[in-house]
């Protein structure tokens, strides 16, 4: 607590008339007082002078009518809900104390008050009631307005108030902050007549503010869990759409596995790392609002719908369809769509690569697929650990049952428990009617793939270990065990031995799941595989969207091989998908790749374009057409038999200027 915020030992208490004299001198002559006045009060008085606050009376005109007050209370309903318990306790705690507690909005308007009945009645005569505005601009120096102005706790006693008509009061206020984002939510104020001054009043205001912040955090986390629970079925379907879940503040809560591919295809750049509010709790750093374009503003409003729960919106769900492409190349037999979809590759035939490190990993996986023991897949994010797990399931001992996948990251502890073990009806608020089988039960007779197992909460780990040891589970809220038999394949991008050493992962569970460990190599170590993977991804897009004449050029593939691929196969897939949908060319060259990638490889692209005979010829043809049409791009595009938009892209690609 700032020493300046408390009245203990101040002149305001020991010699109040000296403070009154200093205030009168300031208001009549404009001279700032000497050091007898605390700096926090002196600074506030100066702001009041600058704002031309009436020194005789706080502005009674800045008070809301009943409808306006109700509208403001609706706007701050989360703050009111979080403070409900604290305000009810204040009614009992402050009775007979001569003091009252105020809950104040961040704009300085009182939203609610409770406390000593006689003081509540007296406070009405001084506008210390709901609907009244107590900013410094409206009421001069006072605990509410000054605390909100300096964003810190403060006491204001008797003549320290700038306005004369409230000089009989003493007030103590502390601000309330959003525990996740650190923004101001409002303030708690304790007020009474000047004879009620006590040190505990400021401590009570600070304690009340901290408790409200704690309640606010619990309400927000509960709403987030409800949002995840209500929409969980939207992430279970295996559609080609990208599915994004946002809270009411527009923060990303969850994305499905198709989201990155769909966003890349539509040229939408969104950080798909889910917002984790827990990481921001107890963070003393100031919250910095994101300067980028709000995520929801980048998405077509037709794809967004509110998520409703118990009659109220609790978030937003965006379902973004994968764009379709028209058939390219007219009736050319080489560009016609195939008459039937090719049979999907199964098992290890779905894995693409021939580099020695990759082939060694594949051979190890083939041997392990036949052994009905847990396997731990290690590797960086995006290397294709789930593809390995599916291949091992389809070729191995668990092929008779289902392959069930669950990502342990990004889910709250309770939601992850429900997803893993299932629950019975009524097990918790929002539990599905009739109960729900968990992923472990769904994998009975097959394979359970747990991605990011290192993210599993520590208190869930012994429960899961028991499942592995006893081959039985109990649903949440249930006491009768159910027998299960499944093959476990876990995956992590963490160093679990380090997690064990630091106490974040149980040693007994680690040894249970890591009977056999397989490391999937990162793409940068797979020399020659980038071209194979890029071509494979591109071929799937061509088949899916009937664009049989489109192809990747050799210079483009050579450029891809030079990249370090920190995002591994996922990054490559996004890049190829974006190039496929954003280019109208039949043969994609380096210049058709996304701009951020090209900037990282600017020299290589420039060198290729300068030496590529086809590129030089195309540049010359386009330049000549523009010159012959006198710079008329519409006519030049018509002569070249290309769209005007394509002409613009070509001019940018080859740095062609209009004459």
pLDDT in tens, 471-525: 999 888 787 889 999 999 999 999 999 999 999 999 999 999 998 999 999 999 9
CATH topology of domain 543-654: Helicase, Ruva Protein; domain 3 (1.10.8)
pLDDT number for residue 622: 87
pLDDT number for residue 44: 94
pLDDT number for residue 84: 94
pLDDT number for residue 123: 92
- Say yes or no to pLDDT of 406 above 50: yes
- Say yes or no to pLDDT of 530 above 80: yes
Q: State the average pLDDT over residues 406-420.
A: 86
Question: Of all residues in the chain, what percent carry a pLDDT higher than 90?
Answer: 42
CATH topology of domain 3-221: Beta-Lactamase (3.30.450)
In terms of CATH architecture, what is 356-520?
Answer: 3-Layer(aba) Sandwich (3.40)
Helix, strand, coil distribution of the chain in percent, nearest 5: 45, 15, 40
Beta carbons of 560 and 249 less than 8 angstroms apart: no
Q: State the average pLDDT over residues 411-435.
A: 74
Strands (DSSP E) contained in 261-349 are: 304-309, 312-320
pLDDT number for residue 487: 92
Domain ranges of the chain: 3-221, 231-283+297-320, 356-520, 543-654
**For residue range 137-185, what is the model confidence (pLDDT) as tens digits?**
999 999 999 999 999 999 999 899 999 889 889 999 999 999 888 889 9
Helix (H) or strand (E) holding 136: helix 136-139
419, two tokens: 């997803």
Those residues with Cβ within 8 angstroms of residue 269's Cβ, 6 or more apart along the chain or in another chain: 263, 298
Q: State the average pLDDT over residues 381-403.
A: 84
- Say yes or no to pLDDT of 282 above 60: no
Average pLDDT, the chain: 84
**For residue range 306-351, what is the model confidence (pLDDT) as tens digits?**
888 877 788 899 999 887 654 444 433 333 333 344 455 678 888 9
pLDDT number for residue 103: 97
Q: State the average pLDDT over residues 641-655.
A: 76
pLDDT number for residue 334: 37
Predicted model pTM: 0.61
Q: State the average pLDDT over residues 249-255.
A: 87
Closest CA to 646 of 633, 659, 631: 633
Q: State the average pLDDT over residues 398-413.
A: 81
The CA dihedral of 447, 449, 454, 459, to the nearest 10 degrees, is: -60
- Say yes or no to pLDDT of 8 above 90: no
pLDDT number for residue 432: 59
Beta carbons of 477 and 423 less than 8 angstroms apart: yes
């Amino acid at each position: 607590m700032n020493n300046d915020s408390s009245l203990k030992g101040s002149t305001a208490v020991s010699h109040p008339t000296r403070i009154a004299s200093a205030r009168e001198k300031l208001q009549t002559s404009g001279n700032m007082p000497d050091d007898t006045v605390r700096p926090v009060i002196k600074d506030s008085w100066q702001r009041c002078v600058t704002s031309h606050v009436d020194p005789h009376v706080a502005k009674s005109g800045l008070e809301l009518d009943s409808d306006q007050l109700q509208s403001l209370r609706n706007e701050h309903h989360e703050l009111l809900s979080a403070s409900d318990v604290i305000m009810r306790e204040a009614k009992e705690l402050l009775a007979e104390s001569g003091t009252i507690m105020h809950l104040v909005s961040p704009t300085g308007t009182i939203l609610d008050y409770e406390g000593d009945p006689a003081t509540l009645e007296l406070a009405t005569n001084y506008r210390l009631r709901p609907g009244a505005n107590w900013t410094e601009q409206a009421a001069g120096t006072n605990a509410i307005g000054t605390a909100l102005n300096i964003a810190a706790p403060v006491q204001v006693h008797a003549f320290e108030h700038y306005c004369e008509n409230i000089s009989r009061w003493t007030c103590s206020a502390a601000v309330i902050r959003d525990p996740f984002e650190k923004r101001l939510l409002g303030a708690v104020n304790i007020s009474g007549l000047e004879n009620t001054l006590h040190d505990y009043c400021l401590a009570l205001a600070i304690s009340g503010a901290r408790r409200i912040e704690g309640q606010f955090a619990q309400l927000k986390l509960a709403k987030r869990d409800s949002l995840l629970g209500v929409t969980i079925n939207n992430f279970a379907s295996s559609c080609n759409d990208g599915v994004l879940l946002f809270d009411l503040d527009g923060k990303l809560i969850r994305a499905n596995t198709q989201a990155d591919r769909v966003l890349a295809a539509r040229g939408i750049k969104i950080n798909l790392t889910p917002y984790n509010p827990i990481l921001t709790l107890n963070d003393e750093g100031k919250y910095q609002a994101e300067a980028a374009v709000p995520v929801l503003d980048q998405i077509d409003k037709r794809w967004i719908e509110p998520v409703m729960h118990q009659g109220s919106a609790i978030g937003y769900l965006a379902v973004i369809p994968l764009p379709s492409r028209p058939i390219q190349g007219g009736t050319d037999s080489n560009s016609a769509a195939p008459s039937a979809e090719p049979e999907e590759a199964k098992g290890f035939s779905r894995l693409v690569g021939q580099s020695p490190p990759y082939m060694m990993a594949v051979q190890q996986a083939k041997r392990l697929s036949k052994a009905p023991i847990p396997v731990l897949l290690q590797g960086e994010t995006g290397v294709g650990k789930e593809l390995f797990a599916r291949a091992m399931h389809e070729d191995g001992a668990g092929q008779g049952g289902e392959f069930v996948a669950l990502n342990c990251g990004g889910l709250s502890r309770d939601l992850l428990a429900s997803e893993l073990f299932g629950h019975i009806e009524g097990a918790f608020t929002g539990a599905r009617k009739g109960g729900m089988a968990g992923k472990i039960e769904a994998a009975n007779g097959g394979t359970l793939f747990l991605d990011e197992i290192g993210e599993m909460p520590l208190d869930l780990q012994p429960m899961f270990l028991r499942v592995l040891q006893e081959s039985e589970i109990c649903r949440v809220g249930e006491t009768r065990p159910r027998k299960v038999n499944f093959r476990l394949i876990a995956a992590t991008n963490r160093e679990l031995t380090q997690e064990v050493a630091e106490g974040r992962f149980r040693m007994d569970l680690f040894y249970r799941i890591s009977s056999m460990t397989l490391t999937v190599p990162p793409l940068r170590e797979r020399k020659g595989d980038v071209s194979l993977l890029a071509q494979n991804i591109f071929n799937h897009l061509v088949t899916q969207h009937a664009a049989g004449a489109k192809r990747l050029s050799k210079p483009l593939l050579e450029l891809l091989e030079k990249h370090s691929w920190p995002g591994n196969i996922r990054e490559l897939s996004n890049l190829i998908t974006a190039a496929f949908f954003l280019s109208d060319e039949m043969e994609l060259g380096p210049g058709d790749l996304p701009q951020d990638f090209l900037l990282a490889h600017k020299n290589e692209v420039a060198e290729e374009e300068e030496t590529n005979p086809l590129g030089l010829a195309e540049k010359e043809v386009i330049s000549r057409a523009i010159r012959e049409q006198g710079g008329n791009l519409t006519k030049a595009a018509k002569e070249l038999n290309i769209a005007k938009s394509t002409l613009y892209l070509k001019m940018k690609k080859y740095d062609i200027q209009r004459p």
